[in-house]
Structure 1
Amino acid sequence: MHAVVAHGPGDLRIENLPEPSLATDKVLVRVVYGGICGSDLHYAKDGRNGAYTIAEPLTLGHEVVGVVHQVGAAVVSALPVGRRVAIHPARPTPLPGGVHGAGFNLIQGGSYLGSASTSPHTQGGFAGFIEVTPEQLRGLPDELPLRTAALAEPLAVAIHGVSRLGDKVKGANVLVSGAGPIGNLAILALRAAGAAKITASDIQDFPLEVARQAGADDVVRLGSGEKPQDEGFDVVVECAGVVPSVVAALDAARRGGAVLQLGMLPAGPLPVHLAGLIAKELTFFGSQRFDVELDAAVSLLAAEPRAAAIVSQVFELSEAVEAFACAADSSRSSKVLLKIGADPDQ
């Protein structure tokens, strides 16, 4: 099978790897689509993602969907061969259908598909086939195309973060700072959670066009003389993951408001002045991946036709290098997918 493998900084290869030999307690999934995430881009460009450095060849990809291909002989209960599925990328894995957080996203020592956080590394899903445990599978409703279902993992990240805000979202005037894929998926999650008005801000025009299609009520093009109103928002969701955006988020939140940090910030000390957080009695929420929210993400994607607009390009696996370059350019892309296998929906 062909796979997208990172070997180090700037060394991304398409390689022919052996298909997994299925363990009796596992399920083999034929991968159809994989979404390129910011962590994939970091591994490909820098050879590392945050504190985790590639020490051996790493097959990338954790936003993957496909079709059940084979079920191990010892598996007691699993989705049947041919069933279209999304894959929960974390182990330990919450059981399907869970609605109460298990806290698995905060457990030390777990693993995540396509991650160098473990030794040996946890190989990812940008490959023809992937072997997973039965509890990692989430069956997809017939009305949800696999192409849109590829958004389930990052949407679960957004839903988890928004859920941390609790009742602060309902009826709120919200700013989403950074209209990349996670920002635009946050728009879907915020709308589903009852936000009254959602404004998206970004430095590029293209992401803001996608934000409107995803359901933003208003957009602000930063650098054009516009800026979000200081203290004008009940809730600010920071999705860019850069210090100036964090500073602007603290400025934009009203007194007694809240800031949710969804964007991944660099490790180490950051020059962020927190006096405003204290003076305005802001509540600042961190958010780490997701826990049980993949089921909710699948349901929301099936019910929300605007989600499809967030997928901006689809590349064949053989075009992976070009796909990564496109995904790294926010002036022309939102969520970029790799088409890894034949799509039964087409």
Structure 2
Amino acid sequence: MMNIQKLAVLVVACAAMNLAAMNITAAQDSLAPSSRDAQRRVAKVYGAGGLKGLEAYQSGFLVSPDGHIATAWSYVLDVDPIVQLDDGRRFESKIVGFEPALELAVLKIDASDLPYFPVPADTSVQWGDPVIAISNLFNIATGDEPASVMQGSVAAVTQLDARRGTFKTPYRGDVLILDLIANNPGAAGGAVVDANGNLVGMLGKELRDTATGVWLNYALPASALRATIGDIIAGRKTTAPVESTPMLPRNDSHNFTTMGVIMVPDVLETTPAYIDEVMHASAADRAGMRPDDLILLVDGQRIESQRSFRRILRTIDRRDNLNLTVQRNSEILNLVLKP
């Protein structure tokens, strides 16, 4: 009797598994018609890189009909990148704004009436849901070919284990763990869509577990990006330099000496604004700045290089506080330097 009961349970379990597999297969088959439509909303992004194994390309996706493109914030954006759309058109773009804590940037190209992804307010996918990742992985689509497509499913919705520094990223929040290989070069910033072609996430940058060496395939939920993308497009949050701000006399403005910092040698036009040394008991020391800190923002203005850092300091009265956003290893910190 017991064997019959066990057999019955086994039959029911197998039937349930087969039904689940059939449902997943059917859902995955339904992805094909929507994938081409989603590809038209994905862009290829070309910028800085090309040396020491640093790829000079990544991915992005349109988030407005007027040419706003969301992408991953990375070294590729150290210059204003070139954007290529699905139809083969190429545009020079401008960086409208970025949010280091989300590793998100928004670009703008001079185009209109473009197909785009509405960014959802809620995360609509859960464990087991089929998804498609669309990106410029390995720079395969070099011309007017559609962006590359990978099919898989959501393996989990969870938070990164950042408490032990396992994954070195400034992002703190839920991620979509994917059962497809999403950490290929060039894939960062690509779109992840559901069975209906709706945007559900943005592929994150290459990320490896420092303890095990295992690469993580993940995406940031689109809902986590929605508010920041909206603020950047609406002009409520911008990191673009304010060109019209007048320079102050050198004795009246902030500078490296008044801050109490020594920068790394400025040998290139785009030398990053890294701190080499912090003077003891200086304003920078009191603010908590440390050697090797990278200056990202000053009073909300993007620091593109050490020279742009110097120019922006010349526009700020030395009697005023400096609101700094810095990157320290994988952390993003907001510091206030008081004169």
Task: Establish whether TM, by shorter chain, passes 0.5.
Answer: no
Higher Rg: 2
**Structure 1-normalised TM-score?**
0.26
Larger relative contact order, structure 1 or 2 (CA cutoff 8 Å, min sep 6) = 1
More helix by share: 1
**Structure 2-normalised TM-score?**
0.27
